[in-house]
Amino acid sequence: MKKFVAVLLSLAMVFTLAACGGGDSSSAGGSQSAGGGSAAADGEARSIVYICLNLGDLSFNDLGWEGSQEAAEKYGWTADVIELGKDTSTYENAFVDAIDSGKYDLVVTQSNYGLSDLCIKYAPDYPDIDFISYDMSTDAAVDGIDNLFGIAFKQNEGSYLAGALAGKLTETNKIGAFVFNDVPVGNDFVTGYVAGIRDANPDAEVSIAYGGGTADASKLQEVSAAMFDSGVDVIYGISGSAFPGLAKEATGRGGIENGLWCIGVDSDMWTVYKASENADYADVIVTSMEKDVAGSIVYTIDRMVAGELPFGTVEPYGIVEGGVRLSDNEYYREVTPADVLEYMDGLQQDVIDGKVEIPSYFDFEDYDAFVEWRDQ
């Protein structure tokens, strides 16, 4: 018995070592060809690899892929996608495998689960490849890495406007929000939203509900039912995938005609819903806080092609840069009371002119400081 195991083990070792040796040489060959072929000067065809967690969320992951494809099409480049899946321990290998393959010279990725760290870690070793990482923090240490550009979305700016709108629309002085998860980006939405409400309507009460990361539509429907029951009349649904739950509940309760308002997130949800099979849900969505991932990626690549992209920095994309905005569609213009519209247009101009100071979650000392501010 023991002998058999020993033989089996040693066989396994021999096999692995042999295979390993063989694979080694082929991989070296691969990276050589990469070194020769990817000296992509400006104007030459490039190949994008978009690295994300899982496609199919109709939101953050999908929008990044949409932007990458759009840019590739615009310039006649190629674009591939790599989905990393759930197992965080494999991310680094998959990432390095992609940049080592010699097939790509532009990496577009998020910052989630250490992807921004990986860009920071590996960009210096691969000077022939450019890296764009979106949803980074402006505090990230990217100084001097001249092939890495970070996009930081100012979701707090857009959410500030959403908050101000909510503050003006409410009649019960009770306002709600649902956040997909209690994570820094989510709380940056909350920070802007709460600040906007306080500036527009100091008397309003805000209640915030958090999903557990696996937020689904039925959970948000439950939460919104409870909020409506308690007298809340405006809810900001900060979760693309769970949003139908909120829209459904509000529609069932008579929607805007009954004085119940919803604010969407990430894309222009009224337009999206109007065109979908859930068209009847659209009419409860007064507007949406668009976080324009796709547009921002295309905008960034445009600047890169023009030679204007300041590599080695993380740039905040706010209202001015077109990174975030409140959807300004016909429905918004139609249903919003005229005085509120006037107030919102003015406020938006003030934000663009830099007259308003909007707090960000990333400015807080720590989580407790944020909670204290939020709940005051």
Partner 1 sequence: MKETRKIEFGFEIFRIVVALAIAYGIALLCIMLISEDPFQAVYMFAVGPFTSVRRFGQLFGKFIPYLLTGAGMCFVYASNRFNLIGEGVYLMSGCLVTYAAVNMGDMGLPHLVFVLLLILVGALTGAVFGSVPAVLREKMGINETVVSIMMNYALLYLATYLVKTKMYDNSITYMASKQIPEDAKLTALISKTQLHGGIFIGLIAVGITALIFYRTALGYDIRICGANPKFAKASGINMTATLILAQVMGAVLAGIGGAVDILGIYDRYMWTALTNMGFDGLIVAVLSKKNPIFVPLGAFLLAYMRTGASILNYTSDIPIEFVDIMQAIIILLIAAEHFMGRYKEKLIFKASRKKNEGVA
* Among the listed residues 146, 182, 216, 321, the single contact to partner 1 using CB under 8 A: 182
Tell me how far apart the alpha carbons of residues 90 and 94 are, in angstroms, rounded to a whole number. Answer: 6
Write each residue from 94 to 123 as x if it is in contact with partner 1 (CB under 8 A), else as -, in one continuous string: x-xxx-x----------xxxx-xx---x--
Q: Does 172 bind partner 1 (CB under 8 A)?
A: no
* Among the listed residues 35, 37, 85, 310, the single contact to partner 1 using CB under 8 A: 85
Query: Are 236 and 176 a contacting pair, CB within 8 Å?
Result: yes
- Shortest distance, position 264 Cβ to partner 1, whole Å: 21
Tell me how far apart the alpha carbons of residues 275 and 282 are, in angstroms, rounded to a whole number. Answer: 9
Q: Does 23 bind partner 1 (CB under 8 A)?
A: yes
| Closer of 213 and 337 to partner 1 (Cβ) | 213
Instruction: From residue 294, give the alpha-carbon distance in Å to each of 46, 60, 137, 278, 299.
Output: 19, 9, 18, 23, 9
Instruction: From residue 214, give the alpha-carbon distance in Å to each of 26, 246, 299.
Output: 42, 16, 31
- Shortest distance, position 23 Cβ to partner 1, whole Å: 4
Q: Does 184 bind partner 1 (CB under 8 A)?
A: yes
- Of 18-26, 231-239, 261-269, 337-345, which part binds partner 1 (CB under 8 A)? 18-26
Length of the chain: 376
Structure tokens at 54: 């899982």
Residues 47-76 that bind partner 1 (CB under 8 A): 54
Residues 126-145 that bind partner 1 (CB under 8 A): 135-137, 139-141
DSSP 39: -
| Closer of 32 and 88 to partner 1 (Cβ) | 88
- Amino acid at residue number 369: A
Q: Does 124 bind partner 1 (CB under 8 A)?
A: no
| Closer of 136 and 250 to partner 1 (Cβ) | 136
Query: Judging by DSSP bridges, how do beta strands 234-238 and 47-52 pair with one another?
Result: unpaired
